[in-house]
Amino acid sequence: MVKGLRRVHNGDMSYFSEILAESSDGFRALDVDVRDAADLDGLVDMMRTAGSDDGEAIAVIEHEDEWFGLVRLCRDNEVKVFLSDLRAVELSPFAAIFADYLDSRPDAYEAEPEEEFGLDEETQTSEDEDEDDNDDEIEMLDFDGDAEWGGDADIYADRGLPAADLIEQVEQHRSDPARVVAHVGETVGFADQLEAAR
């Protein structure tokens, strides 16, 4: 078993997490535990300390059949984060790490109705009609079960994975996050190392 392998069990939920660092020889798994990070800054510090000076690092967190998160520490120390399902992350043991991304999610209830739902102001002839329309909008939100991704969809756009491609993968394979992460890994070059750590 690779030392970097980390699995977290929370009731019936199983999480996989791994940090890989890139060097001139490719990616390698690091012997650090994502769970030791109290927040995103702590996780990035772990990635920076355990990694190499000449490459990048990537932290992968997956919840089987539900969501995944990627944290990329770039060569220039820029940090990019992508989360496939904000609601699921918010309910996970890793919510504290991604708190800034969860808190910054737009509130659909505060959006202008015509911007959020395409309503025509000319059809709203009375306050009663406005209230009815608002009620309908809220009901639509309550029953909207579509997952919402967050963060930097262009996390690896400079390495051959356009944002549109990543979003398309997430939407097509929501119940198989490992498949999407494998696609990212194949494109960037850490797929074999990540698979060996599972």
Work out the mean pLDDT of the chain and round it to a whole number. Answer: 79
What's residue 65's pLDDT?
86
Report residue 194 CA to chain centroid gap: 17
What's residue 144's pLDDT?
37
What's residue 24's pLDDT?
84
Cα 143 to Cα 65, 67, 84, 137, 139: the distances in Å are 21, 20, 20, 10, 6
The band of 192, judged by pLDDT with boundaries at 50, 70 and 90, is very high
Distance of alpha carbon 87 from alpha carbon 89, whole angstroms: 5
Report which secondary-structure segment, H or E, holds 128. helix 127-142
Q: Convert the pLDDT of each residue in 120-155 to its tens digit.
A: 444 444 445 555 544 444 333 333 356 799 999 999
Predicted TM-score (pTM) of the model is 0.74
**pLDDT over 90 percentage in the chain:** 56
For residue 19, count other CB atoms closer than 10 A to its CB: 27
What's residue 59's pLDDT?
96
Do 57 and 66 meet the contact criterion of CB atoms below 8 Å apart? no
CA 31, 194, 154, 68 torsion-angle sign: negative
